[in-house]
Every structure is written in C-alpha cells, then in structure tokens.
Amino acid sequence: MKTTFSPAQLEDVQMRTSEKILRSCVHCGFCTATCPTYLLEGDELDSPRGRIYLIKDMLEGGKPATPEVVKHIDRCLSCLSCMTTCPSGVHYMHLVDHARAHIEKTYHRPFGQRLMRNILAAVLPYRERFRFALAAAFFAKPLAPVVGALPGIGPSMRSMLKLAPARFALREAVPADVAATRRVIILEGCAQPVLRPSINAAARRLLARHGIGVVTPKGEGCCGALVHHMGREEAALDFARANIDAWCAELDRGAEAILITASGCGTSVKDYGFLLREDEAYADKAARVSAATRDITEFVLSLPALKPVRTTGQIVAYHSACSMQHGQKITDGPKRLLRDAGFQLRDVPEGHICCGSAGTYNILQPDFADRLRARKVSNIERVKPQIIATGNIGCITQIAQGTAIPIVHTVELLDWASGGPAPVELAL
C-alpha cells in the first residue's frame, strides 16, 4: 500500500512502525474472509482491510479520530484472525494498538462511554477491586433489566451483570510457593484468580508432580492488556514495567520461565519487548521477559509426559482462544496434551472465529459479543462434547454464559487426569 507520511511524521518511531506495516498490505482482501465482524456485518469498514484504510487515512493526515473511525476500530476484537490469514505478514496488532492510542489522545468520547471505560480501567486490573465489584454485581444481577435501560451505559452495564458469575471466591486460598530445584514464575494476574482460582492451583499441582516449584514475585500485577486494548498506552506500560522489575529479580535468582495460564495475558507479555523497545531503561529487560514467557501448555509439553492415573475418555471440545492460536500461534500442543491424558478431542467448526470475549469487548460491544457467542456455542454444541476446554479465562466466562456444557481450563483437565481433584464445574 502506498503511503505519503511526511519526513517530520516519520521521525516518530511509532509512526515509522505503522508506516512499514501499512506498506506491507497489498489490499488483497483475503483477511476479510476470516474477520468475525465482517462475517457478521458484511461491511468493508468492519473488515481488517477497511480498518487498515481508516487507520492509514487518520494517521497519515495527522487527523484527530472521527466518530466513524472510532466506531469501526471499537468494533474490532483484536482477535488477530486477520494476521493468521494475511499472506503478506501485515502486523495488524501493532497497527491497531497505535490507532487505539491515537483515538484515546484525540477523540472525546460521549459521557457514557467515558464513564464505562474509566470504571473498567479502574477496577478490572486490580484484584481486590475486581473482587469487590463482582460481589456487588452478584447482588445486583436481578436489576439487570432496569440497569440495562439506562441511557448510554445501559447495554454495557447489563452485559457486565450478566457476565458476573453466580459463584466466586470472596477470599481465595493462596497456595504457598514451593521450594524445588527447578522453579518457574506463574503470573497470578488480576481477573483470573478472582473468577477461577482453581486454574493456577491446578497448574501448581501439575508442575509439582514434575518436581517444579512455583514462585510468585512480589510486585507483579495485571499484564496491562485490558487497558492497552482501550488505547491507554501509558497505563499499560506502567503495568509492564512493574511486572518486568518483579520477574527479572526472580529470573536472576534462577527461575527458568514465566508461565501464563491466560492466553490473552500471554500474548501481551510476549509483546513487552516490542512495547518497550524505545525505553532505554527497560528495553533489554523487556526483551528478556518476553523471551522467557511461555503458555503453561508450551512448558508442560517440554516436560516428560505424566501417565494418566484415572480413566478419562470424556469427549472434549477444545476451544482455541484467539490469543492462543492467532496471537501466540499455539495450535496443536494443548490438544496433544489432552489426548495424551486420555481425553477424546473434537475440533470445533469455525474454530478460528472469536467467541466475542476479547478482554472488555463483551462489555463495551455487547451486541456483537452476544452474536459471536451464539455462533460459537452453536458450533461447539454441534460436536456434542461432554466438556469444553480452553486456555483463556475470558473465553471461559463468555462461553459459559451461552451453554450448559461445563467449560474448564486445559490445565484443570491435565491436573485431574494426573491425580488432582475433578474441576468443580464437572461435579456440578
């Protein structure tokens, strides 16, 4: 794609990066076929190619974002399906991240949108605030129809109440770190330990069976993805720097990897090296952290296989989160682990299409998210599974709203097969 950025504009490193990405797009349109929002709307402006044109026009012209651009960029899930499809290697993720940051700086959102985004940014990345908010949402669930009628923020509030689980831990039991010769870091994260503390507990038990201890460095927190996807770049970088400080100290003490059990966070942490490439104090440390980061299934695959200690055999539909398959290009590994543990795997039709979760998307774009969930659930139910497995808490929360089939994290099934307790969702 031809671009006409001025030399002055190209002095900015982010603009240079985006210009390079834009130039790599040959507008072939292959990406439209696998874009969830294009499949729903059939509108070129809701396709990757259409968005790329909008972003090019906005950045090249040095223009503030218009309501039209904001509408179509907001509708993008950042599912990155377009990156998997694109034959020219267009790095859409970095381009849309730049566009979102530009929108955040130049566009004045209506009051309702600003309020909702501020609430999400102030609550979701902080575990205790999120726990408190979930408790409040639990009691407010019956008010969803009333709240949903509020002007501006109603649909997002209703969606938030619907997504709040009927069961969550007011206080989680934090397992003690295990001393062992081999040690890894596990990102505890922000929302996941509140919604499903059982996931990291299962990961810890599984690793312990391999003789590997887990450390939780003080000072780590949210990976930053939630605010980053809202265009709040500086806030995201602050989260990244805090994690890098905490993790590098532990890597220096001999931890061999940083394991992530939520693929949305994994995609983000693996990109720290890029995000902080111009930060003199953090560039090297960020690259080190990204290089040491693995999804839990990547790491478990590198270990000797554990023999299943119980009969499994259940039919499992594996839902590959977008951040797993498109963001991190992890496709077969989790399925291989589940098969080796004795489960019968079923591939989900249209497995490359997003379930509509996408961080805060299912709150900020509830209509698109609901339609994508319905499509995903219908595809999953077609293969008649007894269990759904996935590697991302966002997808678990989203899909669970649309089906009675229990949905659990891959690592919970691996832990169960190798001697851990049955996931509570299977016992219900």
**DSSP conformation class of 342:** T
Site string for ligand SF4, 85-114 (x = CB under 6 A): xx-x-x-x----------------------
Please provide residue 303's backbone torsions phi and psi, each rounded to the nearest 5 degrees.
-100, 160
Near ligand SF4 in 49-88, by CB under 6 A: 49, 51-52, 76-82, 85-86, 88
Site string for ligand SF4, 172-191 (x = CB under 6 A): --------------------
Among 13, 26, 150, 422, binds ligand SF4 (CB under 6 A): 26
Q: Is residue 48 within the footprint of ligand SF4 (CB under 6 A)?
A: yes
Minimum CB separation from ligand SF4 for residue 367, in Å? 14
Minimum CB separation from ligand SF4 for residue 92, in Å? 5
Minimum CB separation from ligand SF4 for residue 98, in Å? 14
313: left (phi over 0), alpha (psi -120 to 50) or beta: left
78: left (phi over 0), alpha (psi -120 to 50) or beta: left
Q: Is residue 36 within the footprint of ligand SF4 (CB under 6 A)?
A: yes
What DSSP assignment string belongs to 282-330? Answer: THHHHHHHHHHEEEHHHHHHTSPPPPP-S----EEEEE--HIIIIIS--
Among 35, 116, 321, 338, binds ligand SF4 (CB under 6 A): 35
Tell how many helices (H) and how many strands (E) occur in the chain: 25, 8
Give the list of residues 6+ apart from residue 170 with CB closer than 8 angstroms, or none.
131, 135
**DSSP conformation class of 175:** P
Specify the residue, 81 or 357, whose C-beta has the smaller distance to ligand SF4: 81
Specify the residue, 81 or 297, whose C-beta has the smaller distance to ligand SF4: 81
Specify the residue, 21 or 286, whose C-beta has the smaller distance to ligand SF4: 21
Q: Are strands 182-186 and 212-215 parallel, antiparallel or unpaired?
A: parallel
Say which residue the tokens 């887990």 belong to.
214
Q: Where does this chain touch ligand SF4 (CB under 6 A) — which range of 31-39, 162-170, 195-203, 232-240?
A: 31-39
Give the list of residues 6+ apart from residue 415 with CB closer than 8 angstroms, or none.
202, 203, 205, 206, 421
Q: Is residue 37 within the footprint of ligand SF4 (CB under 6 A)?
A: yes
Specify the residue, 217 or 356, whose C-beta has the smaller distance to ligand SF4: 356
Q: Where does this chain touch ligand SF4 (CB under 6 A) — which range of 46-54, 60-68, 139-147, 151-159?
A: 46-54
Minimum CB separation from ligand SF4 for residue 24, in Å? 7
Specify the residue, 92 or 239, whose C-beta has the smaller distance to ligand SF4: 92
Near ligand SF4 in 365-404, by CB under 6 A: none
Cβ count near 13 (within 10 Å): 10
Q: Where does this chain touch ligand SF4 (CB under 6 A) — which range of 12-20, 43-51, 219-227, 364-372?
A: 43-51
Rounded distance between C-alpha atoms, residue 286 and residue 267, angstroms: 14
Asked whether the beta carbons of 165 and 134 are under 8 A apart, the reply is yes
Q: Is residue 240 within the footprint of ligand SF4 (CB under 6 A)?
A: no
Burial class (CB in 10 A: 0-12, 13-18, 19+), 302: exposed
Site string for ligand SF4, 284-303 (x = CB under 6 A): --------------------
Which residues of the shown chain bind ligand SF4 in the complex (CB under 6 A)?
Answer: 25-31, 35-37, 48-49, 51-52, 76-82, 85-86, 88, 90, 92
